[in-house]
Structure formats: C-alpha cells, structure tokens
Amino acid sequence: MPARTVRPRCSRRPGWRVSSSSVSDPAKTVRADGRALDQLRPVRITRGWLDHAEGSCLVEFGRTRVLVAASVTEGVPRWRRDSGLGWVTSEYEMLPRATNTRSDRESRRGRIGGRTHEISRLIGRSLRGIIDYRALGENTIVIDCDVLQADGGTRTASITGAYVALHDAVEWLRARDALVGEPLTGSVSAISVGVVDGVPMTDLAYAEDSRANVDMNIVCTGAGDFVEVQGTGEGAAFGRDVLGRLLDLGQAGCAQLAELQARALADPDGRAEL
C-alpha cells in the first residue's frame, strides 16, 4: 500500500496569533520563486481546448493546470421543471497523478470524497452568483473541472476557468436562440491569499500553502464584489487588520484575473496570459 503523503505544517506556540505586529516587513521579504508578495504566478487561459464541449478552456496558474468543460443540456432537473428557470452546477476532480504520488480514482472507492464535494459546491455557488436563471431559460449547464496537475490553488483556478467556459456555453445557446435574455450579470474569478512566515501574499503555490499561518480563498465578481471568502487560521488566530490586508490582496488579484478573462474572451485565438 503506497505511503500516505502528509502535508507539513509549521510549528507554532500555543495561543499564537497573527497580527500586524507579527507580520514581517514586506519590502524585506522575497518569495522563493522571486515573485513580489502581491504578484500572481504566470497565468494562462486557452479557450476551445475540447472539440465537443459547448464551452471549454485550459487554465494554468504556474504549474497548476485545470481543464474545464461546460456542457449544455436542454431542460432542467425535475424539481425545477415548469419554473422558467435554468440551472448551473459543477463537478470537480483531480486526475490520479495530478500530485507527486498517485491517488486512486474516487470512482474506485465508491464514493465522492468530502474535499471533492466541497470544492464542487464552491465552484457552483461562485458561478450561480453571476447567473440570471430566468434569462437562461430552462437549460442546464454542467461545469466539469478536472485537475491535470496540482501545485496549489486548484479550486481558485477552477473557478477562474469555469467562468470562461460558462461564457462560451452561454454564447452557444445564444447562437441557437435558446436564451430568454442575458444570463450573465458579470464575471467571476478567484484567488488564494495567505500569511506565510508572518507575511501576507497572493496566489500561494503548494510549497507556500503547506506552511501557511493563514490560508484564504477569495471569490470576486468583475466589479470587485465578494461572492465568497473562505479563511482558516492554520493553527493560529489572526486579527482583523490581517484579514483586511488579505481581502485587499484578494480583490487586487481577482481584478487582474477579470481583465485576463476579458482578454481571453475577446482574443480571436481564445488565448491570454499574465
């Protein structure tokens, strides 16, 4: 039986708390990969990655790569029939060798893992925050996010790519006069932020995330409004001042991603990168 991979966590004193006084001077801190504290990894979006899906893209955040497909089905779930409302849902999964050691497919285990279920629901909630169901009509769009390679930030990369695939699926419906109105009320993207070694930073790679004092995922609309904030003190509490700094980093990161999404959707070749 293969050895289980255990994520290392930095040791902390009991009752340790992250506050502005414990945060290092950002100007004196250099990340291992040379990035600035508020700098995203190289991000690339490539649309139309799949031939058969109504919308698809490959989204890359550094070495994290996620393939996203949006599939359109006429009609809605039974509990939604005759309501005049559409539906958007999502599924998330990692390939067995997306990480440094192979994991069994969840289909072999006979059940979906808690983490997978949680992330699937997060992606769906994020997309439903910018959808007008009535304008979508009684159509269902299923978003499949498959992690090809994981190096931190797979859920935020999935959300960012999912919007692009969703947009193209909506355009597919529009071309067939299958919409009642304009279903998309805006765009949505997501980024990870955290405090590592006492320093707030944006877009954590696995090496940073695995030893973060505070770990947070932020989902924002293109207008800068929050759709969801998931934050955890990894063995340490954190103050409101630190929370504010992380929210600022998250909003700024999502603003860059919203601009990247717009460029990818406008590009004739369906490509854009930061």
The whole-angstrom separation of Cα 226 and Cα 208 is 24
User: What's the DSSP call for residue 53?
Assistant: S
Contact, 183 vs 170, CB < 8 A? yes
Which amino acids are annotated as binding site for phosphate, given as ranges?
115, 153-155
Residues linked to residue 92 through DSSP beta bridges, in sequence order: 145
Which amino acids are annotated as binding site, given as ranges?
115, 153-155
Phi, psi of 69 (to 5 degrees): -125, 140
By residue count, the chain amounts to 274
Task: Say if residue 33 is exposed, middle or buried (CB neighbours under 10 Å; 0-12, 13-18, 19+).
Answer: exposed
Answer positive or negative: Cα dihedral of 217, 3, 117, 58: positive
The whole-angstrom separation of Cα 115 and Cα 118 is 5
Strand 271-273 versus strand 139-149 pairing type: unpaired
Contact, 150 vs 185, CB < 8 A? no
